[in-house]
Amino acid sequence: MRSTYLVCYDISDAKRLRRALKVCTNYGDHLQFSVFECDLNPAEKACLESELAEVIKHSEDQVIFVVLGPVEARHRQSPIANGQ
């Protein structure tokens, strides 16, 4: 089952920031600054987490995944998706 996540990061080094941006661009839509919306299955989420873990410096940087719920349920409830 695919779920939608907000992936937000705060990275203190410009080089790591660019690398994190590049990684996240492969998985979702860039919404604002360091925020992405990603529709992921469990394997894709694990891959994204792993790739970001290789980029960041854990003592200085932060990455947060906020689950918004199943993709199917979110699109059914959206007035835009229903044409309203």
Nearest to 40 by CA among 32, 31, 49, 30: 49
Flag whether 84 is in a domain.
no
Question: Does 28 map to a domain?
Answer: yes
41 inside domain: yes
Domain assignment present for residue 48? The answer is yes
The answer to whether the beta carbons of residues 28 and 2 sit under 8 Å apart is no
One-letter identity of residue 9: Y
Confidence of residue 74 (pLDDT cuts 50, 70, 90): low
Q: Is 82 within a domain?
A: no
Give pLDDT tens digits for 11-33.
Answer: 999 999 999 999 999 999 999 99
Tell me how far the alpha carbon of residue 12 is from its chain's centroid. Answer: 18
The domain that holds 9 is classified in CATH as: 3.30.70.240
Domain count, the chain: 1
Query: What's the whole-model pTM score?
Result: 0.84
Helix axes 14-25, 42-55, angle to 10 degrees: 160
Q: Is residue 83, in this structure, part of any structural domain at all?
A: no
